[in-house]
């Protein structure tokens, strides 16, 4: 192929409506004319009137080239050839081996075409690798004006700034040249371009993405109707790999986008990632490496969370905590996450605590993480008493009621959560009693010891009268506990009646209510009335002493049952 080149316009870009950006580039000056580039098995041979005097090996392929064409464009190759000549190496060893070449064989073939003056088709999928290869080979303007670095730089900047879709394709292509993309700031430029477009009006720039433009326009209209117009960029950003996603999120934060939107985007990405894990789509790497990647990913997600209080939901953070425990992430990060969730409990609903399990023998919801968070909250409250601790008490009781019917929920786990809060966290134990009763009903095969442990957190004096009546007839409760509560109820009744002026006489464990004797009918002298009143007072004192002794005996009996 000859060089029918337009030297006045050596770079031709196509940005026609409905088509992705593409560019045809070729050098302004060509040092050597070649006829064709032939493929023989894995090798590439440039056919020209002059015999090949340079072989460059990329991976397992050898390119049979000419020094004049390559050295005139690449300072890297120029330096190697000149060094060999200076050291007096024989000319019959023209082999140059290049390891870790950006983009591999396909990209080096494009470089060869450029050096021989053939047109090179550049798109968003290969521009990052070609730009990196040009920098690797040091193809700058010092050797030849309009060299490959300049050409690729121009198209790279144009694509990133002009097309939303191309920016994501460029980011995707950077996965295979990660170190070069980072060193040459390709990742940073793409991330900042995405952040800029996400932070402005979605109609404020042109997409140039054909069908994607119409689809996005329709989506934007739907989002506007649903009040989610600001989140139009979520779907594309959440498709990025974790390291690229972090770059984009950090750029978005610097643009001042609200923490709520940033948090929602992180939740969106995490949701898609979790769905890949559960469906097995993310299991292409070895098991050990997969676990390490997931651990690093989880830690990265926690680190980029916005610090603002309402940026992310409690439920999302609980899912992250579950992941963190599974992946055995950094302990400091885990504790930080637990504290953050603990501080949110006072504003949570029961539904916010629901994190599903998917194992066949697991509980429906992950109770362990809720126990951890509540215990973390209690440790904070003990140091700094919180006025809204009663809210958390109601929250925990509501959660216990919801999970109580779970057949796989162990009595020990139920007990841990019920006893995680201090007794002062509950003004009334009716909700706790309801949760316990549901649990005991759903688990009829519990031992007496297990039923006792489940019911231990409940306090009799914090139950309403209706709950007490139900409890004393409840055969699901442990026998000793029922007997103790019945005795306590009798003591309470005795106290109430004594305070109301009735007279009581206690014998061995039974309360015999004696109706107060009325004063004798008829008129009595004042002296006689005083005498009767004194006698009544003495009788009441004696009855009170007996009642106190009875109470002490009951307490001793309860202690012996324990």
540 pLDDT tier (thresholds 50, 70, 90)? low
Alpha-carbon distance values, 285 to 175, 274, 278, 279, 280 (Å): 15, 16, 15, 15, 11
- Shared domain check, 293 and 164: no
Q: Which residue in 376, 370, 323 sits closest to 348, CA to CA?
A: 370
- Shared domain check, 333 and 403: no
- Shared domain check, 411 and 343: no
Compute the C-alpha angle 224/229/235, nearest 5°: 120
Q: Where are the alpha helices (DSSP H) in 163-256?
A: 164-173, 178-183, 186-199, 211-225, 234-237, 242-254
**152, part of any domain:** yes
Task: Please give the pLDDT value at position 204.
Answer: 41
CB 199 within 8 Å of CB 257: yes
Q: What is the DSSP letter of 516?
A: P
- Shared domain check, 178 and 70: yes
**421, part of any domain:** yes
Q: What is the mean pLDDT of residues 383-407?
A: 90
The CATH code of the domain that includes 154 is: 3.30.710.10
**431, part of any domain:** yes
Instruction: Region of 280 please: left (phi>0), alpha (psi -120 to 50) or beta.
Output: left
Q: What is the mean pLDDT of the chain?
A: 81
How far apart CA 264 and CA 118 sit, in angstroms, is: 48
Task: Please give the pLDDT value at position 434.
Answer: 95
In what helix (H) or strand (E) does residue 63 lie, and over which residues does it extend?
A: strand 61-65
Q: 414 versus 468: which is more confidently predicted?
A: 414
Task: Please give the pLDDT value at position 239.
Answer: 92
Task: Please give the pLDDT value at position 46.
Answer: 93
pLDDT in tens, 255-270: 989 999 999 999 999 9
Pairing of strands 95-98, 54-58: parallel
Q: 71 versus 477: which is more confidently predicted?
A: 71
Q: Which residue in 119, 227, 215, 209 sits closest to 169, CA to CA?
A: 209
Q: What percent of the chain has pLDDT over 90?
A: 53
Task: Please give the pLDDT value at position 443.
Answer: 94
pLDDT in tens, 478-493: 877 777 777 776 666 6
Q: 140 versus 221: which is more confidently predicted?
A: 140
pLDDT in tens, 121-180: 999 999 999 999 999 999 999 988 999 999 999 999 999 998 999 999 999 999 999 999
- Shared domain check, 250 and 172: no
Q: Which of 184, 217, 248 is the last residue of a domain?
A: 184
Q: What is the mean pLDDT of residues 21-28?
A: 83
Q: What is the mean pLDDT of residues 349-367?
A: 90
pLDDT in tens, 44-65: 999 998 889 999 999 999 999 9
**524, part of any domain:** no
CB 505 within 8 Å of CB 543: yes
Q: 22 versus 136: which is more confidently predicted?
A: 136
Evaluate if residue 1 carries a pLDDT over 50: no
Task: Please give the pLDDT value at position 126.
Answer: 95
**Total number of domains in the chain:** 3
Show the domain range for 400: 359-364+378-497
Q: What percent of the chain has pLDDT over 70?
A: 75
pLDDT in tens, 320-353: 999 999 999 999 999 999 999 999 999 999 999 9
Q: Among 17-26, 27-36, 441-450, which range has the highest average pLDDT?
A: 441-450
Task: Please give the pLDDT value at position 408.
Answer: 93
202 pLDDT tier (thresholds 50, 70, 90)? low
Evaluate if residue 295 carries a pLDDT over 60: yes
Q: 528 versus 503: which is more confidently predicted?
A: 528
310 pLDDT tier (thresholds 50, 70, 90)? confident
Evaluate if residue 114 carries a pLDDT over 50: yes
**10, part of any domain:** no
Structure tokens at 210: 């054909």
Q: 291 versus 355: which is more confidently predicted?
A: 355
- Shared domain check, 133 and 196: no
Indicate the range of 339-343, 432-436, 456-460 predicted with least confidence. Answer: 456-460
- Shared domain check, 320 and 401: no
30 pLDDT tier (thresholds 50, 70, 90)? confident
Instruction: Please state the pTM of the whole predicted model.
Output: 0.75
- Shared domain check, 325 and 388: no
Q: Which residue in 221, 251, 248, 218 sits closest to 236, CA to CA?
A: 248
- Shared domain check, 311 and 238: yes
Task: Please give the pLDDT value at position 359.
Answer: 78
């Amino acid at each position: 192929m000859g060089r029918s080149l337009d030297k006045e316009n050596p770079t031709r870009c196509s940005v026609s409506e409905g088509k992705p950006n593409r560019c045809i580039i070729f050098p302004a000056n060509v040092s050597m004319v070649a006829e064709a580039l032939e493929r023989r098995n894995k090798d590439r041979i440039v056919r020209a009137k002059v015999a090949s005097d340079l072989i460059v090996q990329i991976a397992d392929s050898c390119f049979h080239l000419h020094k004049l064409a390559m050295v005139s464009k690449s300072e890297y190759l120029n330096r190697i050839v000149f060094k060999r000549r200076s050291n007096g190496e024989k000319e019959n060893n023209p082999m140059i081996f290049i390891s870790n070449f950006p983009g591999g064989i396909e990209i080096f073939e494009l470089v060869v075409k450029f050096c021989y003056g053939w047109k090179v088709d550049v798109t968003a999928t290969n521009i990052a690798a070609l730009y990196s290869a040009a920098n690797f080979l040091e193809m700058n303007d010092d050797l030849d004006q309009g060299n490959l670095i300049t050409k690729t730089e121009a198209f790279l900047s144009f694509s990133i700034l002009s097309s939303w879709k191309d920016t994501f394709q460029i980011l995707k292509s950077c996965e295979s040249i990660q170190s070069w993309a980072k060193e040459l700031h390709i990742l940073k430029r793409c991330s900042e371009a995405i952040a800029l477009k996400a932070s402005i009006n979605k109609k404020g720039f042109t997409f140039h993405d054909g069908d994607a433009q119409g689809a996005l326009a329709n989506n934007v209209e739907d989002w506007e109707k649903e009040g989610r117009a600001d989140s139009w960029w979520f779907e594309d950003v959440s498709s990025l790999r974790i390291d690229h996603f972090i770059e984009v999120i950090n750029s978005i934060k610097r643009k001042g986008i609200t923490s709520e939107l940033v948090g929602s985007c992180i939740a969106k990405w995490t949701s898609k990632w979790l769905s890949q894990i559960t469906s097995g789509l993310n299991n292409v790497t070895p098991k050990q490496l997969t676990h390490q990647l997931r651990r690093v990913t989880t830690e990265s997600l926690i680190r980029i969370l916005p610090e603002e209080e309402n940026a992310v939901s409690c439920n999302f953070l609980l899912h992250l905590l579950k992941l963190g425990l599974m992946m055995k992430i950094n302990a400091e990060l885990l504790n930080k996450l637990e504290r953050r969730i603990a501080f949110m409990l006072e504003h949570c609903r029961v539904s916010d605590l629901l994190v599903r399990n998917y194992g066949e023998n697991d509980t429906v919801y992950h109770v362990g993480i809720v126990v951890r968070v509540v215990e973390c909250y209690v440790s904070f409250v003990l140091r700094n008493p919180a006025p809204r601790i009663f809210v958390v008490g109601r929250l925990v009781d509501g959660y216990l009621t919801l999970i109580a019917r779970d057949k796989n929920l162990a009595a020990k786990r139920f007990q841990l959560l019920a006893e995680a809060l201090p007794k002062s966290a509950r003004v009334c134990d009716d909700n706790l009693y309801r949760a316990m009763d549901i649990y005991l009903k759903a688990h009829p095969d519990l031992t007496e010891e297990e039923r006792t442990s489940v019911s231990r957190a409940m306090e009799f004096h914090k139950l309403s009268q209706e709950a007490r009546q139900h409890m004393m007839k409840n055969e699901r409760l442990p026998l000793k506990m029922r007997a103790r509560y019945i005795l306590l109820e009798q003591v309470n009744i005795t106290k109430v009646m004594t305070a109301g002026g009735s007279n009581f006489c206690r014998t061995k464990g039974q309360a015999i209510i004696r109706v107060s004797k009325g004063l004798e009918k008829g008129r009595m002298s004042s002296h006689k009335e005083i005498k009767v009143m004194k006698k009544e007072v003495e009788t009441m004192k004696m009855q009170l002493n007996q009642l106190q002794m009875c109470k002490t005996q009951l307490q001793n009996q309860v202690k012996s049952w324990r």
